[in-house]
Amino acid sequence: MAVGLLAAGCGADTAGPSSTGGSLRVTAVTPRARSTVVIPFYPYIVPGGVAFPPGSGLLSVGLSMRLTRDVPRAQLNVYLMAGDQASDYCGQNSPDAPAWGPLPAGWTRTYTVTGFRVYRLPCQVTAIRAMLHTRADNGLLIPPSPEETIAEATIPVGYEIDR
């Protein structure tokens, strides 16, 4: 795991398991492993959380995506995992969650996510989970189902987010 944490902090090119229809690869993650991200004063959002805008310089996740089939729509969700369960995350990229469509087989894109909403502070982030999916834009923020998932990748990290 130490090697994974070191690789993640150095911007390793880490591929995740491909689901159906494409591939997703984490190409860089900042901050470095074992860092503490201190969120400056941003307004608290009811019912919970602090959002920091794209370009804030606090966190970034570089990704490379490729489709192997046509899709009507694709959206990128990135979760800040705080445990082993799919529902155990303390933040996600809701301020910076791009969607594209319709897309042909062979479509590729690189994108760096820099805007996140963190739901609880402090948070020990153990992994970054990125998911490219086809779920309709219905406001649902939980991770997409396997049927909606085009591809996903998870990379271990180790840092704390605090105020």
For the stretch 58-88, pLDDT in tens is 999 999 999 999 999 999 999 999 998 988 9
pLDDT bracket for residue 43 (50, 70, 90): confident
Judging by beta carbons within 10 Å of its beta carbon (0-12, 13-18, 19+), is residue 109 exposed, middle or buried?
Answer: middle
pLDDT bracket for residue 41 (50, 70, 90): confident
How distant, in Å, are the alpha carbons of 9, 82, 118 from that of 85? 22, 9, 17
> Do 149 and 20 contact (CB within 8 A), yes or no?
yes
pLDDT value at residue 32: 83
Q: What percent of the chain shows pLDDT beyond 90?
A: 64
pLDDT value at residue 121: 85
d(C-alpha 65, C-alpha 55), whole Å: 21
pLDDT value at residue 48: 73
Average pLDDT over residues 156-163: 91
Closest CA to 109 of 83, 74, 81, 143: 74
> Domain 2-162 maps to which CATH number in 1.20.1070, 1.20.272, 1.10.150, 2.60.40?
2.60.40
3 state DSSP class of 111: strand
For 101, the token pair is 């469509």
pLDDT of residue 19 exceeding 60, the answer is: no
Mean pLDDT of the chain: 86
pLDDT value at residue 59: 95
pLDDT value at residue 8: 41
Which residue ranges make up each domain of the chain? Answer: 2-162
> Do 123 and 91 contact (CB within 8 A), yes or no?
yes
Report pLDDT digits (tens) over 85-125: 988 999 999 999 999 999 999 999 999 999 999 998 889 99
